[in-house]
Amino acid sequence: MFKNNFIVKSTVLAFLLCHGSSIYAGQKGDIEGVYTPSSGWVESQELYPGESIGEQIGKFKIVLKRQGWNLLSAKDQDRIRKKLIIKGVLHGLADNSGTEPFMSHQLTSNDRDGAAFTEGDSFFITEVTPCSATGIVLSGIETLNFTYGTGLYQSLQAGSSLILHSTLDSCTGQIDFEVIKGQGGLCFGTESCD
């Protein structure tokens, strides 16, 4: 009996540790209004280095907080989600065949309950560092320009954006991003977020 009780408690604890972020109360409710980034990261790998169409795949986690939360009525605070945590798989494409690269990304939730899409993303280089005789590391600021969402994120409005510190390493093919806190935001709903 003691052994079975221990196994049950251990299983419940392991489940809560692995899935805790999707259970807590701040993750429930409607996604409505502007959500500003408070933290986040992306880790990805370039799939076909040196090709005119670059492709990357990786994982991400972005934490956003509802802007103006304290100004909402108690009724709206009960209905609207205060914090939005999106984590999952990132797929990116960069068409380098023109004079400037054309970049787009797809961010798909781990729970497969929604995805967000970007297009016309920009990358402003702030530093170039050699990493080998032929390779370089590019550091800069990248802007993800969201165009639409599906599933849970279907009310994502075009014009939403996130700003990230980016590092692209041509020696390893690793591409890393860190979300800049408070820069940009994601707008959800049918009302204007201006």
- Band (pLDDT 50/70/90 cuts) for residue 27 is low
**Domain spans of the chain, in order of start:** 29-188
| C-alpha to C-alpha distance for 154 and 145, rounded to whole angstroms | 16
Has residue 29 got a pLDDT over 60?
Answer: yes
**Which distant-in-sequence residues (6+ apart) come within 8 Å of 39 by Cβ?**
62, 63, 179, 181
Express each pLDDT in 47-94 by its tens digit.
987 777 889 999 999 999 999 999 999 999 999 999 999 999 999 998
**In the block, residue with structure tokens 């280095």:** 49
| C-alpha to C-alpha distance for 90 and 60, rounded to whole angstroms | 7
In sequence order, what are the beta bridge partners of 44? 58, 175
pLDDT value at residue 95: 86
154 and 114 Cβ atoms separated by less than 8 Å? yes
Q: What's the rounded mean pLDDT across residues 123-142?
A: 92
Within 10 angstroms of residue 187's Cβ, the number of other Cβ atoms is 21
Express each pLDDT in 143-194 by its tens digit.
999 999 999 999 999 999 999 999 999 899 999 999 999 999 999 997 777 6
153 and 168 Cβ atoms separated by less than 8 Å? no
Higher-pLDDT residue of 36, 23: 36
